[in-house]
Amino acid sequence: MPYDLNPGDVALMGVPLDLHSTFLQGPAFAPGRIREALHSGAANLTAEDGTDLGATDRFKDTGDLDVFEMMGQEPIDRIEAGADARIATGAHLLSLGGDHSVAYPLIKAHAERYEGLNILHIDSHPDLYDSQQIGPLGHGCPFARVMETCQINRLVQVGIRTMNKPQQEQAEKFRVEVIDMQTWHPDLEIRFDGPVYLSLDLDALDPAFAPGVSHHEPGGLSTREVINLIRRFEGQLVGADIVELNPHRDPYGITAMVAAKFVKEIGGRLLSR
């Protein structure tokens, strides 16, 4: 049993990969920066529901996954295997990317363990491209790969504001439920029946709240709105990822601290199941 994980624990795992980024490198350094913010001393480890991650032995940091450990093995396969090893113990996995390409193997591992898996995807981009110039595993493609290869009940996307024609066609093909920023309102109720995987891209937030991302897309969600989404959506949260922090573009560690805040809120919800 890796890292002495037990059923109901929350396993934190870093996924330092940005090989599939199309614009800028940097998200590979994100897991370490998020941990620094989480343990910086500038704040405590208590979520807003009162769950103190620092006062429980059920929140366990399992370190960074070595995505290049096996020569000749695609990092995507390595990520899936690392995720599967952790959730096979009955623990709930909270992953820190990395670019958004890591969501595909992470969700694939969860879909094989949780029948009828739903996905709540918070992002400015739909990430539904069939392929990009770097290939079909680009960070703009993970949800196309997920919907092609995994048994997914529903994919609900929130915060979208870059939906072009190719991705609109993909959304229709895969019957994706898109709540874009034109129709978003804070009182929106999101409900799922069954298990839910949360994939959170930090560029879902307006750059005023999270400037440390590779793709700045104005007109996004506030930090408070994302926290409320994490806490209030109805469904059984079973796993999550936080992706696309780019420390090279993060003045004063603002976005890393936002990501650390989300770690606490997601971790608190997973522990309260």
- Determine what percent of the chain is predicted with pLDDT higher than 70: 97
How large is the average pLDDT for residues 183-201? Answer: 96
How large is the average pLDDT for residues 140-167? Answer: 97
Query: At 162, which CATH number?
Result: 3.40.800.10
Q: Rounded to whole angstroms, how far apart are CA atoms 14 and 6?
A: 19
pLDDT given for residue 20 in this prediction: 84
pTM of the model: 0.96
Question: Given phi > 0 = left and psi -120 to 50 = alpha, else beta, which region is 3?
Answer: left
197 bridge partner residues: 119, 239
pLDDT given for residue 133 in this prediction: 84
Question: What are the start-end ranges of the H helices in 103-222?
Answer: 103-113, 142-149, 165-173
Question: Domain tally for the chain?
Answer: 1
Q: Rounded to whole angstroms, how far apart are CA atoms 92 and 110?
A: 10
For residue 68, give the 3-state DSSP assignment.
coil
Domain that holds residue 150: 2-271
| Per-residue pLDDT reduced to its tens digit, 84-128 | 999 999 999 999 999 999 999 999 999 999 999 999 999 999 999
Which residue ranges are tagged as binding site?
100, 123, 125, 127, 201, 203
How large is the average pLDDT for residues 218-242? Answer: 98
Instruction: Name which of 210, 228, 267, 256 is nearest 54 in CA terms.
Output: 267
Does pLDDT of 190 surpass 90? yes
Which residue ranges are tagged as binding site for Mn(2+)?
100, 123, 125, 127, 201, 203
Using alpha carbons only, give the angle 163, 122, 82 rounded to the nearest 5 degrees: 115
Q: Please tell me the chain's helix, strand, coil percentages from 3-state DSSP, rounded to the nearest 5.
A: 35, 25, 40
Looking at the chain, how many residues does it have?
Answer: 273
| Per-residue pLDDT reduced to its tens digit, 22-56 | 888 999 999 999 999 999 989 999 999 999 999 99
pLDDT given for residue 1 in this prediction: 47
